Structure 1
């Protein structure tokens, strides 16, 4: 396609190879058709400079242009206006449960675990235009940051507003976080219900056992993808809030209850991932994005407008003009 125009029968462009042969034929035959008179002198003859003999070549040029237009018309040029409509045939409801305990400020991911997660989760949300998404925060207790909604602006704003704060009880209540996420999505009418549960620690708080929460997810046919975030070994982690409000950091051992996270994922038909750096975290969300595909049916409408008619009319006009000139102005040269 060139300039919004496509050619249906491109094979006719091979006919342009005839044009050099026609030009060669014209040059050779023109020399043979031109009469020559040899005389010893032209004294006594009145000389006139006429432009007609030279202009006669324009007749041949017109024929070549007309032939070129006909070849182009045979190639059938047309413009295509394509419009599409999409219809979501299978929606997915997703709740992202985020651990916001103090340990999420550890700097083994840059600039820290929580901020790295927010960047990656933001791109994930933007890549799910046809799904509804909600967010749950949890530390020592859990609450809903935003219910599942199709308004991505609300979800992205809620995600961006997530901060570590001392209002939420300290600790890591994985069971409470999962149970709250289940409660948010259990009554969904979507064909597929998914929870992405992220933590960087072990369950050490809350009143709901994580295995009980996972059984609730199974009962409501909810798939849970679990992510353990944090490097293997030691990480620079906050250990104390200083009088000026800043944190004092020390190297601490990273403890993630991977067996628990694997059990939750396996029981609900999900998958467990370990993110020990920024790139791995990004890759995990990309994989989940591929695993949970929303089925979208696309309807494409194409409107074609043929463009060969003006070329044929122009070619016919050139041939007619050439015939009139040959029959009148250039008649004496035939």
Structure 2
């Protein structure tokens, strides 16, 4: 039982306090009905009243205090010293989709117009995913985190590390493929980090797992963020998931999958025939509906998560994605609070003994004639 910030191990002992009102009533009754000790009564006749006579009730008060303190001691009060235990670190591989479809903006037409009217460029799927993952990385303290990016293939961008600042700089340095290539070189026109012509989910899972299987951490997870279905690459994502699911418990890897975006409120930057983004008079991008809906495969992501003991999230906009990542943190990174109970029975028992000694001392000295 918790009371006044203390934990009481045997709260039933408080039943002993029922005797206290009876003792108080007994003392008050003595005073009310004139059963006052002789020296005190003599003072009422006009004689000077001494200290002893005025404090005739003190031995009784000490007895009541002794019983009260003793009862509290028998209830075994203990202080609560809370100790936060973060546990061992978790090894985490982030697998981030950098395909060209991540350029899409997911919001209603009204919200898009409002954002542009305010002179702001609306964040696309990639911007939202990157910023949310940056915040996620910076919120960790003992977890090693690595980064894999994937388009038509998968690349390891950063190995498992505790250097969160450098990992975040790597995330911020990623340039998404605009979706248009130089006809002569085949390279993207905007100096993208990697080509965005594909979504090799299987390769991404394979690379991420390859890093995690070499670690000795007891907790290992993959966080997969994508907006499309598996296209390109050489590895079957379900085959990777089934292999991971077959591992013994001490080698387990849990995969948490995030499907970002929604086909119902999708906008893409408009481009001219040269593949250059069109802008308005303020230099802001002009947006248009995509000619065809982006292919997605939520069932695949759901299966991957289910097979490996992870969880599937369908994050249709920025707010939902951020909330889902928070849910991931609550699910995987449970903070444990250990409460140390320090018993204070002995100090209270000694206090009760001291009060009892004082009462006896009074009853066998000058107060003896009053009781």
| TM-score of the aligned structures, taking structure 1 as reference length | 0.70
SS in 2 for 1:167: coil
Deviation at 1:47, TM superposition (A): 3.4
Q: 2:294 aligns with which of 252, 256, 259?
A: 256
In 2, Cα distance between equivalents of 1:202 and 1:306: 60
* CA distance 1:256–1:34, change in 2 (3 Å): same
SS in 2 for 1:148: strand
In 2, Cα distance between equivalents of 1:305 and 1:285: 38
Structure 1 residues 120-269: aligned runs within 5 Å: 120-122=132-134, 124-125=136-137, 132-139=144-151, 143-164=155-176, 166-168=190-192, 171-175=196-200, 178-179=202-203, 182-183=206-207, 185-186=209-210, 188-190=213-215, 194=222, 196-199=224-227, 203=231, 209-210=232-233, 212-214=234-236, 218=240, 221=243, 227-233=258-264, 235-240=266-271, 241-242=277-278, 246-253=284-291, 255-259=293-297, 262=299, 266=303, 269=307
Partner of 2:252: none
1:260-304 superposed Cα distances (whole Å, 9 cap, x missing partner): x7558758947876433234434654676688x5899x89695x5
In 2, Cα distance between equivalents of 1:189 and 1:34: 87
Say if 1:94 and 1:133, in contact at 8 Å, map to a contact too. Answer: yes
Unmatched 5+ stretches in structure 1: 37-45, 204-208
Which deviates more from structure 2 when the two are superposed, residues 249-258 or residues 131-140? 131-140
In 1, Cα distance between equivalents of 2:85 and 2:269: 51
Structure 1 residues 34-183: aligned runs within 5 Å: 34=36, 47-51=46-50, 52-79=52-79, 81=81, 88=88, 93-99=92-98, 101=100, 103-108=102-107, 111-122=123-134, 124-125=136-137, 132-139=144-151, 143-164=155-176, 166-168=190-192, 171-175=196-200, 178-179=202-203, 182-183=206-207
In 2, Cα distance between equivalents of 1:217 and 1:132: 26
Does 2:319 match 1:276? no
Say if 2:92 and 2:145, in contact at 8 Å, map to a contact too. Answer: yes
Deviation at 1:316, TM superposition (A): 2.7
Say if 1:236 and 1:249, in contact at 8 Å, map to a contact too. Answer: yes
* CA distance 1:107–1:193, change in 2 (3 Å): closer
Deviation at 1:155, TM superposition (A): 3.4
SS in 1 for 2:356: helix
Structure 1 residues 289-308: aligned runs within 5 Å: 302=340, 305-308=342-345
Higher strand proportion? 1
Aligned CA-pair RMSD: 4.5
Unmatched 5+ stretches in structure 2: 39-44, 109-121, 178-189, 246-254, 272-276
Does 2:365 match 1:318? no
* CA distance 1:280–1:330, change in 2 (3 Å): closer
* CA distance 1:229–1:67, change in 2 (3 Å): closer
Deviation at 1:56, TM superposition (A): 0.8
Which deviates more from structure 2 when the two are superposed, residues 47-56 or residues 68-77? 47-56
Say if 1:15 and 1:71, in contact at 8 Å, map to a contact too. Answer: yes
